Amino acid sequence: MLQCAVAGNESISSSSSSCNSSSSSNSSKIELLRQPAAALHLLPNLRIEAAAAAAAAAALAVAAFAAATATSLAAAAAAATVLWHTRSYRCHQNKIPQQQQTQQQQQQHQQQQQQQQQQQQQQQQQQQQQQQQQQQQQQQQQEYRVVYS
């Protein structure tokens, strides 16, 4: 028994013999549909398969879109993270010279204070030495006066 359905130039066969289609005349197309019941029996299956294929294609499209969106979001998040760290690093690097400059200024100020203190101490020592020398001279003069008077 021969069961076949034809759409255009394609043929579907469920037995060992095949159905051939030719586009030469309309009569040959009519002859190919010898058993319309078999062709009608195949149509729901074809519709189900077509619907399943369309659903699978839609699911693949949604999955591809979701994957692309997730990838884009992950890339955007990574870029934002890198940008934030870069800005933080730059801010930190900008603060380091300021901190170093502040520390250097503080050290210079401390050194200046130490130098001033040392100078003051030296001046005090010189003054003490001068006072001692003056006292010694005065004592010597007094002794000289006492001796020669």
The pLDDT of residue 118 is: 92
Spatial CB neighbours of 20, under 8 Å, sequence gap ≥ 6: 11, 32
pLDDT in tens, 72-94: 888 888 888 888 888 877 777 77
pLDDT in tens, 93-104: 777 777 778 888
Share of the chain above pLDDT 70, in %: 65
pLDDT in tens, 103-137: 888 888 899 999 999 999 999 999 999 999 988 88
Rounded to two decimals, the pTM is 0.33
User: Taking Cα atoms as reference points, which of 8, 6, 7 lies closest to residue 19?
Assistant: 6
